[in-house]
Chain A
Amino acid sequence: MTAEIEPTANTPWVRVRATVEALVRPTSERERERRRIVALCLPFLTLLSVSGIVPLAEMLRMSVSEKRLVTAGFTLFHYEQLVTDPYYRTIAFNTLWFAVATTVASVAVAIPVAHALEKYELPGKPILLTVLSFPNSLPGIVAAFMIIVLLGNTGIVTNVFAVLSGRAPTELATATGVAGLFFAYLYSMIPRALLLLRGTYAEVNTDAEEAARSLGATPFETFRYVTFQQIKPGVIGAVILVFRTALAIFGTILILKSLLVWTLQINRELGAGNGFNIAGASAMATVWFACVFGFTLLAIRYTSAEVSI
């Protein structure tokens, strides 16, 4: 028995050539359609390669570079450092607990806000909606400034508490502390969570809610067993989106600087104090990218949540 391999058919190379030929000179309608799909997708895939895949691959190479000013050699030193150095482990821990805490808080605030917007008769709803989505367009540096306005030395909240407690505003100012940073993160994250939740809320089946109420359920029971079950995909989507956002926040922390998180340290590696440690920064950026990208793909794969941006 000789398993003879046909030299002409089914070798990968021949198949590739046949596919390319069919794309260039299609003979059937099916092939023409395939050519259209490729032509439609090609511009985006080109952009994705030029400004996404190529630079990210270069970043990976930089992260294992032995030299600082040119990409050369191979070393895992920078990755080893991230794993073994307690300094970097603290930063990773800070990043994670802060992202989890701010995610939970912002989704917890966004649910009642979305509930009020969708279920209650509020005066001037279109204006309220515009005003509530306004912060979505503000970059993190502006969010930081907003928190200084609220909680800084001259901040209005600081001063209200100063009057109430009789202490000096400068003692009470929290804008440049961890609490201030917490609120600055919320400032960016609440409107994002809200955007997603409102979409889900709009699709809630009100008949089921009314049925529950008429069967004697309290408003909270109705919310917990009927409404919440229906908005669950939106809540999961909001958690994913907001958690990603929390990990990516950079401008806010760059101004308030009160907690050493991953993005801030990436920037510090590039600073003069660390001698423009681009290899170290690239290693940190690579780890960061792998974690967030993997997390998002897993989230999409295993939840039915509609993950918007």
Chain B
Amino acid sequence: MAGRFRGRSLSARFGRPFVLFVFGLALLFLTLPVVLTFAGSFATQWVGPLPSGPPTLDHWEDVTMGTEVGADVAVGSSLIYSAGLAFGGVLINLVVGVPIAYAIARYDFVGRDWVNVFAILPLAPGIILGIAFLRSYPNLSTSGVALVIGYSLLKAPYMVMAVQSSFQSMDLQQLEESARSLGASWPRAFLTVIVPNAKAGIVAGSIISWTLAAAEFNFSYIVYSRGTPPLSIFLFNNITNASFLNAAAAVSVFFLLIALVTISLQLVGTRGARRRA
């Protein structure tokens, strides 16, 4: 009680306002440019502090149709190309990620901790893996195959973590043994009982690893050489070569994609998976 009578301490008076001030500042810092960019993509000019002029769809048209100057490719082809590459990466991630997540969650074996570390920790970041790919798979880089296998390794941890969080909420041993005692062979029990039970984690993991693969810049930048640019290279070309407002429109296309993915993740409703990824 003694403290109460000494009058309120500094932190009691200023603690909460200070924390809220930092919170507000961080919120503004993280969201203001997103809002401004999106608004700017519809503006006719942006010479002052705020984008201005009557709303126009010109920049969106430039981005979706492609222009002759600067970043001249239309976003459509890049978007479809990246979506396809990322989808290939997700397919590989499903094949490698779900089984290893199950092995780690269900069984106890020698070296399990190390397997876990390698499964949930990205081995090397994009730029390093990109350099490593340059001469290892020189002929695959133009076809996009190198991009797919690179993406799948880079994003595998997200899949493993999402699936693991699904597995952790189930009694795996009992599930497996019930299925087996009802006559299912082990592979059948795994594929028809265990995997469907982890559906939420698998869907969440797929969405997360797809988004991150579609947005991967560092690896794509080093490995990509010619042909349709992946989405992130398209963005880079727009940011560095196109007019500021066209760049704003290109970045906004990307915002919409992320917003779409965020909404679908919320619909899937796997909060545990989202927290970790």
- Say yes or no: A300-B117 contact (C-beta < 8 A), given A250-B127, A309-B157: yes
User: Is there an interface contact between A216 and B4, defined as CB atoms closer than 8 Å?
Assistant: yes
Kindly report which residue of chain A lies nearest to residue B176, judged by CB atoms: A36
User: Is there an interface contact between A48 and B23, defined as CB atoms closer than 8 Å?
Assistant: no
Which A residues, 122 to 149, have Cβ-Cβ distances below 8 Å to chain B?
Answer: 128, 130-132, 134-135, 137-142, 144-147, 149
- Say yes or no: A44-B156 contact (C-beta < 8 A), given A37-B109, A263-B127, A270-B222: yes
Complex Cα spacing A101 to B236, Å: 27
Complex Cα spacing A187 to B29, Å: 8
Which A residues, 209 to 224, have Cβ-Cβ distances below 8 Å to chain B?
Answer: 216-221, 223
User: Is there an interface contact between B33 and A150, defined as CB atoms closer than 8 Å?
Assistant: yes
User: Is there an interface contact between A39 and B99, defined as CB atoms closer than 8 Å?
Assistant: yes
Q: How far is the CB of B49 from chain A (nearest CB, A)?
A: 3
Question: What residues on A are CB-neighbors of B9 within 8 Å?
Answer: 218-220
Complex Cα spacing A137 to B207, Å: 12
- A23 beta carbon closer than 8 Å to chain B: no
Contacting B119 at CB < 8 Å: which of A44, A139, A142, A292?
A44
Contacting B254 at CB < 8 Å: which of A34, A116, A142, A159?
A142
User: Is there an interface contact between B153 and A47, defined as CB atoms closer than 8 Å?
Assistant: yes
Which B residues, 88 to 110, have Cβ-Cβ distances below 8 Å to chain A?
Answer: 92, 95-97, 99-100, 102-103, 107, 109
Q: How far is the CB of A241 from chain B (nearest CB, A)?
A: 11
- A278 beta carbon closer than 8 Å to chain B: yes
* A268-309 vs B, Cβ < 8 Å mask (1 yes, 0 no): 001000000010011001001100110011001000000111
User: Is there an interface contact between B20 and A120, defined as CB atoms closer than 8 Å?
Assistant: yes
Contacting A191 at CB < 8 Å: which of B15, B30, B129?
B30
Complex Cα spacing A251 to B239, Å: 11
User: Is there an interface contact between B19 and A115, defined as CB atoms closer than 8 Å?
Assistant: yes
User: Is there an interface contact between A250 and B126, defined as CB atoms closer than 8 Å?
Assistant: yes
User: Is there an interface contact between B30 and A132, defined as CB atoms closer than 8 Å?
Assistant: yes
Kindly report which residue of chain B lies nearest to residue A56, judged by CB atoms: B132
Which B residues, 1 to 45, have Cβ-Cβ distances below 8 Å to chain A?
Answer: 1-4, 9-12, 15-16, 18-20, 22-23, 26-27, 29-34, 36-37, 40
Complex Cα spacing A158 to B248, Å: 18
Q: Of the 9-residue stretches B60-68, B72-80, B213-221, which lies at the interface with chain A? A: B213-221
Contacting B33 at CB < 8 Å: which of A120, A149, A270, A296?
A149
Complex Cα spacing A135 to B28, Å: 12
- B211 beta carbon closer than 8 Å to chain A: yes
- A267 beta carbon closer than 8 Å to chain B: yes
Complex Cα spacing A144 to B258, Å: 17
Kindly report which residue of chain A lies nearest to residue B133, judged by CB atoms: A55
Contacting B128 at CB < 8 Å: which of A109, A144, A289?
A289
Kindly report which residue of chain A lies nearest to residue B37, judged by CB atoms: A149
Contacting B124 at CB < 8 Å: which of A46, A50, A144, A289?
A289
Question: What residues on B are CB-neighbors of A195 within 8 Å?
Answer: 275
User: Is there an interface contact between A267 and B121, defined as CB atoms closer than 8 Å?
Assistant: no
* A248-268 vs B, Cβ < 8 Å mask (1 yes, 0 no): 101100110000000100110
- Say yes or no: A59-B23 contact (C-beta < 8 A), given A43-B95, A44-B97, A154-B48: no
* A36-69 vs B, Cβ < 8 Å mask (1 yes, 0 no): 1101110110111011101110110010000000
Question: What residues on A are CB-neighbors of B49 within 8 Å?
Answer: 154-156, 158-160
- Say yes or no: A134-B30 contact (C-beta < 8 A), given A43-B100, A51-B150, A216-B3: yes
Contacting A109 at CB < 8 Å: which of B4, B22, B212?
B22
Complex Cα spacing A224 to B251, Å: 41
- A112 beta carbon closer than 8 Å to chain B: yes
- B161 beta carbon closer than 8 Å to chain A: yes
Contacting B218 at CB < 8 Å: which of A32, A48, A140, A309?
A140
User: Is there an interface contact between B97 and A134, defined as CB atoms closer than 8 Å?
Assistant: no
Kindly report which residue of chain A lies nearest to residue B276, judged by CB atoms: A308
Q: How far is the CB of B118 from chain A (nearest CB, A)?
A: 7
User: Is there an interface contact between B128 and A285, defined as CB atoms closer than 8 Å?
Assistant: yes
* B122-138 vs A, Cβ < 8 Å mask (1 yes, 0 no): 11111111011111110
User: Is there an interface contact between A251 and B153, defined as CB atoms closer than 8 Å?
Assistant: no
User: Is there an interface contact between B12 and A134, defined as CB atoms closer than 8 Å?
Assistant: no
* B249-260 vs A, Cβ < 8 Å mask (1 yes, 0 no): 001001000100
User: Is there an interface contact between A48 and B48, defined as CB atoms closer than 8 Å?
Assistant: no
Complex Cα spacing A54 to B129, Å: 11
Kindly report which residue of chain B lies nearest to residue A296, judged by CB atoms: B121
User: Is there an interface contact between A56 and B258, defined as CB atoms closer than 8 Å?
Assistant: no
Q: How far is the CB of B241 from chain A (nearest CB, A)?
A: 12
- B69 beta carbon closer than 8 Å to chain A: no
User: Is there an interface contact between A120 and B161, defined as CB atoms closer than 8 Å?
Assistant: no
Chain A to chain B contacts (Cβ below 8 Å), 30 pairs: A43-B100, A47-B149, A47-B152, A51-B133, A52-B123, A54-B136, A59-B128, A113-B26, A113-B27, A131-B27, A137-B212, A140-B217, A141-B232, A145-B37, A146-B34, A149-B33, A199-B275, A219-B15, A220-B11, A223-B11, A251-B217, A254-B221, A254-B236, A267-B221, A281-B131, A282-B131, A285-B127, A285-B128, A292-B125, A308-B276
Knowing that A116-B19, A278-B135, A285-B131 are A-B contacts, what are 16 other residue pairs whose CB atoms are under 8 Å apart, sorted by A's residue number?
A32-B186, A43-B95, A43-B96, A51-B133, A51-B152, A55-B136, A115-B19, A120-B19, A145-B37, A150-B33, A183-B29, A218-B9, A219-B15, A223-B11, A250-B127, A296-B121
